């Protein structure tokens, strides 16, 4: 099925993407400014906390970049695999999918400054598709003769949303893409967004293109900063997956990428803001636990750690006395006394009355 309007890669001007850089200027400046703040906050963390945060961020990104594509992995196995990649002790054996995506995350984190080559692309594809037996080519560009299409609907009435360039063009298209990637000196967010769009338009692999595109975006931003970006990019994209696909699909027949760039840039800034809030949250945890050292009983300490572990978003709906009893395995009277003590020490604030009483970290 051939569309009436050519796909973007069939435009005579392909692959010269058009965009308005003036609309990105403020966002680019904000990205660099917040990157400085993020690095400053990171440097305030103890080395052990930095190590754990690095593992947590990369594990979560591995899970979320897979979930965007509808693949749900085992969190503990992914985290164990990330730890193994950093040479740390692990207590479980992960499956090929968890081990593969974890290795990709750590490879991008440690090797962000490495040059992009066909061999790097092939290795990333092998990691993304680890354990797969349903693909014709793993670790190489697609070579099937049938069109690479994004479709929906019943087989009798398929709707073709996008058709990528034919397989016979993959090596020439990817040579041009890699040359552009290595030579382009565009600002960080602009290049990261264009790299993503450009790559998924070519769609060089049978599967795994979205995960690799997001890894490329992370690589661009890290190279621009001269260090890993520490962004929760896939986490942010997964939280607005419909908007993500809609923004990409809007460029299926156009080389004007301004709206996609704006969408991506704001999403990256939101991801950056989350990372900053996460680090600020860990700093607050360290300060509070240091201030209250020796003043808490084991139950109170356990409950506070559980609240902090819920992250910047907080314990869903606040902490109730019933939650506290479950966490600490204690009686109602003891729970009320412990919670009152935490409020008095300035660790928690209290809202509501009776059964509606809830407790929140006092940050």
| DSSP secondary structure letters along 111-126 | TTTSPP-HHHHHHHHH
CB 113 within 8 A of CB 90: no
Q: 8-280: which CATH architecture?
A: Orthogonal Bundle (1.10)
4-8, 98-102, 159-163: the lowest-pLDDT one? 4-8
pTM of the entire predicted model: 0.90
Exposure string over 44-56, b if 16+ CB within 10 A, otherwise e: ebeeebeeebbbe
Q: pLDDT tens digit string along 303-362?
A: 999 999 988 888 778 999 999 999 999 999 999 999 999 999 999 999 999 889 999 999
pLDDT at 257 over 90: yes
Q: Which residue has the tokens 């599967």?
A: 207
DSSP classification of residue 227:
S
DSSP classification of residue 164:
P
pLDDT at 3 over 60: no
Reported confidence tier of residue 2, pLDDT bands at 50, 70, 90: very low
Distance CA 216, CA 99 (A): 19
Q: Look up residue 177 and give its two tokens.
A: 């893409």
Cα 221 to its chain centre, rounded Å, is: 13
Tell me what the pLDDT averaged over the chain comes to: 95
pLDDT at 30 over 50: yes
What residues does each domain of the chain span? 8-280, 296-361
pLDDT at 4 over 80: no
Strand pairing class (358-361; 348-351)? antiparallel
pLDDT of residue 112: 97
pLDDT at 238 over 90: yes
pLDDT at 65 over 50: yes
Q: pLDDT tens digit string along 99-123?
A: 999 999 999 999 999 999 999 999 9
CATH class of 296-361: mainly alpha
pLDDT of residue 92: 85
Q: pLDDT tens digit string along 271-319?
A: 999 999 999 999 999 999 999 999 999 999 999 999 999 888 887 789 9
């Amino acid at each position: 099925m051939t569309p009436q309007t050519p796909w973007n890669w069939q435009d005579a001007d392909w692959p010269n993407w058009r965009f308005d850089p003036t609309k990105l200027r403020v966002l680019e400046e904000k990205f660099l400014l917040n990157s400085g703040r993020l690095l400053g906050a990171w440097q305030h963390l103890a080395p052990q906390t930095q190590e754990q945060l690095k593992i947590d961020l990369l594990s979560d990104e591995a899970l979320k970049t897979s979930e965007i594509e509808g693949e749900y992995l085992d969190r503990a196995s992914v985290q164990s695999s990330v730890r193994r990649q950093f040479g740390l002790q692990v207590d479980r054996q992960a499956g090929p999918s968890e081990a593969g995506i974890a290795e990709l995350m750590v490879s991008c984190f440690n090797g962000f400054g490495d040059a992009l080559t066909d061999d790097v692309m092939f290795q990333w594809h092998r990691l993304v598709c680890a354990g797969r037996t349903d693909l014709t080519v793993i670790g190489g560009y697609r070579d099937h003769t049938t069109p690479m299409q994004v479709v929906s609907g019943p087989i009798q009435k398929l709707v073709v949303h996008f058709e990528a360039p034919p397989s016979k063009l993959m090596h020439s298209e990817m040579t041009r893409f890699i040359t552009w990637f290595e030579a382009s000196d565009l600002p960080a967010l602009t290049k990261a967004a264009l790299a993503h769009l450009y790559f998924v338009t070519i769609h060089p692999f049978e599967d795994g293109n979205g995960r690799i595109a997001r890894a490329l975006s992370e690589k661009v931003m890290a190279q621009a900063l001269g260090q890993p970006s520490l962004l929760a990019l896939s986490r942010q994209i997964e939280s607005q997956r419909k908007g993500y696909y809609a923004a990409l699909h809007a460029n299926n027949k156009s080389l004007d990428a301004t709206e996609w760039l704006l969408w991506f840039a704001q999403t990256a800034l939101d991801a950056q803001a989350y990372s900053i809030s996460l680090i600020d949250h860990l700093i607050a945890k360290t300060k509070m636990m240091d201030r209250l050292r020796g003043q808490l009983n084991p139950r109170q300490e356990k409950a506070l750690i559980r609240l902090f572990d819920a992250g910047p978003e907080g314990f869903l709906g606040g902490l109730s006395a019933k939650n506290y009893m479950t966490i600490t395995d204690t009686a109602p009277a003891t729970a009320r006394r412990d919670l009152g003590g935490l409020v008095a020490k300035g660790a928690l604030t209290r809202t509501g009355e009776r059964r509606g009483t809830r407790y929140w970290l006092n940050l």
